[in-house]
A and B are shown apart, each in its own frame.
Chain A
């Protein structure tokens, strides 16, 4: 069981908007620690999508956006495209565990 909780799967039609939630606790997200998001395709290196809750690295389209409130964070993807199909992970740091933690991952299906 992961320290950060994500839905196992989400889906949407091309062009639609989807959101992926990431729920933590008072020892990680709720403690003010940042949330970061990754896209992972099987057999490929994970790719950083969002860092510091809301920031996009250069080259990441503005269709991807992040937000954070309380003990939760969300990744929103607008204008869904077929090549957005991947696994998405949130990540933070847990002060009780003294280590970096990931969500269990969310598989996005573009219908």
Chain B
């Protein structure tokens, strides 16, 4: 069974940093592209970042580019999101999501339960 489990969320002050982790199991992590998707309170889903299976290709949403860094460790079957210079509008539940597509922009077939990040003084 595919499992994705996020951790690392919490309360942080504006301008602060936080690192999210996503532990994957039940599939060959190194064969899949991965993403972070977030949902702010009362809002819809928003794609945040993408990383290919080998980490050779990385994309960011305009809203986080230059502040967030996605990475992965295939040996540990783990995905990460380093979030710096956090703003109040980054407050959201952050989900890691697997992309099973090959060679064209894809979709998200498995999701974690999410990790809440709250940016507030």
Contacts and interface: CB of A to CB of B under 8 A. Distances in A.
A44 interface: yes
Interface residues of B, number: 24
A91 B107 contact: yes
B105 A100 contact: yes
B45 A38 contact: yes
B44 A101 contact: no
Interface in A77-94: 87, 89, 91-93
A48 B107 contact: yes
B47 to A, nearest CB: 4
Interface of B: 35, 37, 44-47, 50, 59-62, 95, 97, 104-114
12 contacts: A34-B104, A38-B108, A46-B37, A46-B95, A48-B108, A51-B107, A91-B108, A93-B106, A99-B62, A100-B35, A100-B47, A100-B105
Interface of A: 2, 33-34, 36, 38, 40, 44-48, 51-52, 57, 87, 89, 91-93, 97-105
